[in-house]
Amino acid sequence: MASSSRAMSKLPMPSVAMASRMLAQTPRRAIATRATAGKPQNALTRQFRRGYADEAAPARTPKPRRFRAWRWTWRLLKLSLVGGVAYVGYGTYQDRHPEPQVAPDPSKKTLVVLGTGWGSVSLLKRLDTENYNVIVISPRNYFLFTPLLPSCTTGTIEHRSIMEPIRTILRQKRASVKYYEAEASSIDPDRKVIHLVDTSDIKGTITETEVPYDMLVIGVGAENATFGIEGVREHSCFLKEIGDAQLIRKKIMDCVETAAFKDQSQEDIDRLLHMVVVGGGPTGVEFAGELQDFFDEDIKKLIPEISDRFRVTLVEALPNVLPSFSKQLIEFTESTFKEEKIDIKTKTTVKRVTDKTIEAEITRPDGKKEKIVLPYGLLVWATGNAVRPVVKDLMGRIPAQKDSRRGLAVNEYLVVQGTRDIWAVGDCAVAGYAPTAQVAAQEGNFLARLFNNMAKTETLEEDIRELSGSLNVKPGNSAEISRRIEETERQLRRIKDVKPFNYSHQGSLAYIGSEKAVADVSWFNGNFATGGSLTFLFWRSAYLSMCFSSRNRLLVINDWFKSKLFGRDVSRE
Ligand SMILES: Cc1cc2nc3c(=O)[nH]c(=O)nc-3n(C[C@H](O)[C@H](O)[C@H](O)COP(=O)(O)OP(=O)(O)OC[C@H]3O[C@@H](n4cnc5c(N)ncnc54)[C@H](O)[C@@H]3O)c2cc1C
């Protein structure tokens, strides 16, 4: 560029203008090439002359439509990329620099929320915390995105990518919220207190205490159902919490390395490499699929000598897996599992579990029952939910709950039957819906709306009382005050008219391995069932959009790329 400007200074005045026009038209690369050739001035003059001679610029040939469409697509892509980065950047900045919080008003009611799962966190996200003194109690100081938990067992996703600290979530609220890392051991509905215990490893002088409440929301979820089958609790792994996924990941590699041990007996190699999953619901199916992927894509390549010995068996007591999905998706899943060499044993009931074997009873097509013994290296138990002790204890204290078996029976406003100021959400509540994250989240959202409305109602009622008190105090103000009372009453009627909770089913999704998924999606008034590789992309994008924060989303995307590019990490912690 320096040499070009020097060349221009030697030209007569009109020529300078022409030269600068020419320069603007000359491609930068042409100038740079000439400059490096060491004759910038001559080259420029030649170019200038040629430009002068052909004054009339050649007519541009219009670009074909095809290219125009590409150009526009490319521009749109760039624009959406910039928009996306700006959106994520702004969200992240806001998360990292929240506004100062206001202190809660001690005269307001104390609302205690038990748990930091789907139900409770959905409530907390939408609750206007300025209306209450909110206290959250949970032994888990983070929210866990459970739908991607099966992917953590094989290292497709790292566990921290699907965790969101509750402190970060609560810091985003306008009025501050108290959090206690503890387990509620009992609830006294007569005294309106919760007894809590610090169950963490490090303890202070005080490990137990009581918290009084005016309003209580129970969202403690459920524990694993073992149906009292001998040996299940002692010998199997569950898949509910992060710790469970970490344990499974360790055990898979332990089984593989032990099977590869020098001079290992053939019998033990077969047993150790036999992974059994009990429970053919979405969790069991997803885990079986992830496990087979892990073996096919990574372990097989790293330890080829054991490649023909690895087996996954899925055991289900019902006649088919994924009982809540459409018939064609069940068939699709079963045929995909056959291709993946996952053995499905339906109509099979586990009777007893020892440290190395599962004893079960299988019903043959002719109706005959047969006893089978399955030696296993890893057993994952994913059969459903049981009531937590704190919920069982509360149910025992409320006479109206005496007939309830599967959790706290609630009315259409999610109020625990037999109480006036206790609500329940999610897996611990019996409202007539399946125990899913979708239901729990919608229930939490509903309660947030209800509580926000209740607070507004109280404010409006207070306003009406004040306005009524000032009526006729000053002469001539009655018409204006009556009008304001009427308007406030109208607002009050609108707010008070809260419809009961109504669950809206969005559909069911499940990953079935080999980058395939099945989806039963609600479509207007009907249902749209689909399965395969495209559904897998839909499954991924749906779960990605449902992740709690942008941080979670970016981490999950990063994990997917990482495991695809470098393979899953097989090192055992
Ligand atoms: C592996 C897996 C995959 C799943 N995939 C899907 C899916 O794809 N789609 C779907 O819709 N659903 C899915 N689910 C089901 C879904 O996760 C649950 O239905 C949902 O978590 C229920 O929400 P919740 O709020 O009732 O309980 P949870 O989310 O289980 O939360 C319970 C909370 O209560 C706390 N707690 C426990 N005991 C106490 C106590 N004594 N005192 C105080 N707090 C306590 C816990 O620490 C936890 O924070 C999946 C579940 C699992 C395990």
Looking up residue 363, the CATH number of its domain turns out to be 3.50.50.100
Please list, in sequence order, all residues whose beta carbon lies within 8 angstroms of the beta carbon of residue 224, skipping any fewer than 6 positions away: 238, 240, 381, 383, 384, 385, 386
Please list, in sequence order, all residues whose beta carbon lies within 8 angstroms of the beta carbon of residue 365, skipping any fewer than 6 positions away: none
**Is 435 a pocket residue for ligand 1 (Cβ < 6 Å)?**
yes
What is the structure's pLDDT at 23?
41
Question: Is 458 a domain residue?
Answer: no
* CA-proximal residue: ligand 1, atom 46 (nearest): 115
Residues 189 and 153 reside in one and the same domain: yes
Residues 380 and 509 reside in one and the same domain: yes
What sign for the dihedral angle of Cα 71, 77, 82, 86? positive
What is the structure's pLDDT at 463?
86
Q: Of the residues 31, 53, 75, which one is the last residue of a structural domain?
A: 53
**Is 183 a pocket residue for ligand 1 (Cβ < 6 Å)?**
yes
Mutate to test the pocket of ligand 1, among 148, 277, 427, 540 (most ligand atoms within 8 A of CB): 427
Six-digit token string for 503? 């669950």
The alpha-carbon radius of gyration of the chain (Å, integer) is: 33
Ligand 1 centre from 66 Cα, in Å?
51
**Is 239 a pocket residue for ligand 1 (Cβ < 6 Å)?**
yes
Ligand 1 centre from 282 Cα, in Å?
14
Ligand 1 centre from 84 Cα, in Å?
31
What is the structure's pLDDT at 15?
44
* CA-proximal residue: ligand 1, atom 4 (nearest): 147
* CA-proximal residue: ligand 1, atom 53 (nearest): 240
Residues 255 and 364 reside in one and the same domain: yes
**Is 137 a pocket residue for ligand 1 (Cβ < 6 Å)?**
yes
**Is 383 a pocket residue for ligand 1 (Cβ < 6 Å)?**
no
Ligand 1 centre from 289 Cα, in Å?
22
CATH code for the domain in which residue 183 is found: 3.50.50.60
Six-digit token string for 80? 């959406």
Question: Is 126 a domain residue?
Answer: yes
Say how many C-beta atoms besides its own lie within 10 A of residue 61's C-beta: 6
Give dist(CA 220, CA 180) in Å, integer: 14
- Ligand 1 atom closest to the Cα of residue 144 is 29
Residues 296 and 337 reside in one and the same domain: yes
* CA-proximal residue: ligand 1, atom 3 (nearest): 147
Residues 237 and 357 reside in one and the same domain: yes
Residue in the structure block whose two tokens are 């020529």: 15
Question: Is 483 a domain residue?
Answer: no
**Is 216 a pocket residue for ligand 1 (Cβ < 6 Å)?**
no
Question: Is 417 a domain residue?
Answer: yes
Mutate to test the pocket of ligand 1, among 220, 287, 383 (most ligand atoms within 8 A of CB): 220
Name the amino acid, one letter, at 71: R
* CA-proximal residue: ligand 1, atom 15 (nearest): 436
Q: What is the DSSP letter of 415?
A: B
Residues 381 and 511 reside in one and the same domain: yes
Mutate to test the pocket of ligand 1, among 112, 114, 118, 548 (most ligand atoms within 8 A of CB): 118
Residues 172 and 241 reside in one and the same domain: no
Name the amino acid, one letter, at 333: T
- Ligand 1 atom closest to the Cα of residue 444 is 25
What is the structure's pLDDT at 5?
39
Residues 414 and 549 reside in one and the same domain: no
What is the structure's pLDDT at 462?
86
- Whether 141 and 546 have beta carbons less than 8 Å apart is answered as no
Mutate to test the pocket of ligand 1, among 121, 123, 138 (most ligand atoms within 8 A of CB): 138
Ligand 1 centre from 37 Cα, in Å?
71
Mean pLDDT by 10 residues, the chain (573 residues): 39 43 44 42 48 56 74 92 90 85 93 98 97 97 98 97 97 96 98 97 96 98 97 97 97 96 96 97 97 95 91 97 95 96 97 98 94 98 96 97 95 96 98 96 97 91 85 73 86 83 94 96 85 96 94 96 95 85
Residues 241 and 380 reside in one and the same domain: yes
Question: Is 84 a domain residue?
Answer: no
- Ligand 1 atom closest to the Cα of residue 185 is 41
Ligand 1 centre from 274 Cα, in Å?
29
Question: Is 500 a domain residue?
Answer: no
Residues 378 and 400 reside in one and the same domain: no
Domain encompassing residue 558: 232-386+505-566
What is the structure's pLDDT at 3?
40
Looking at the structure of the chain, the number of domains it has is 3
- Ligand 1 atom closest to the Cα of residue 121 is 25
Question: Is 129 a domain residue?
Answer: yes
Residues 115 and 179 reside in one and the same domain: yes
Ligand 1 centre from 117 Cα, in Å?
5
Which residue, among 248, 157, 153, has the nearest Cα to 563 in the 3D structure?
157
For the stretch 329-379, pLDDT in tens is: 999 999 999 999 999 999 999 999 999 999 999 999 999 999 999 999 999
- ipTM beyond 0.90? yes
What is the structure's pLDDT at 57?
59
**What are the distances in angstroms from CA 398 to CA 93, 190, 380, 407, 426?**
47, 10, 35, 12, 19
Residue in the structure block whose two tokens are 């209580």: 216
**Is 407 a pocket residue for ligand 1 (Cβ < 6 Å)?**
no
What is the structure's pLDDT at 287?
98
Which residue, among 352, 118, 111, has the nearest Cα to 230 in the 3D structure?
352
Residues 212 and 167 reside in one and the same domain: yes
- End-to-end CA gap in the chain: 58
Which residue, among 498, 534, 487, has the nearest Cα to 415 in the 3D structure?
498
Question: Is 29 a domain residue?
Answer: yes
Q: Of the residues 53, 74, 94, which one is the last residue of a structural domain?
A: 53
Give dist(CA 432, CA 238) in Å, integer: 25
What is the phi/psi pair of residue 27, to 5°?
Answer: -65, 145
* CA-proximal residue: ligand 1, atom 37 (nearest): 220
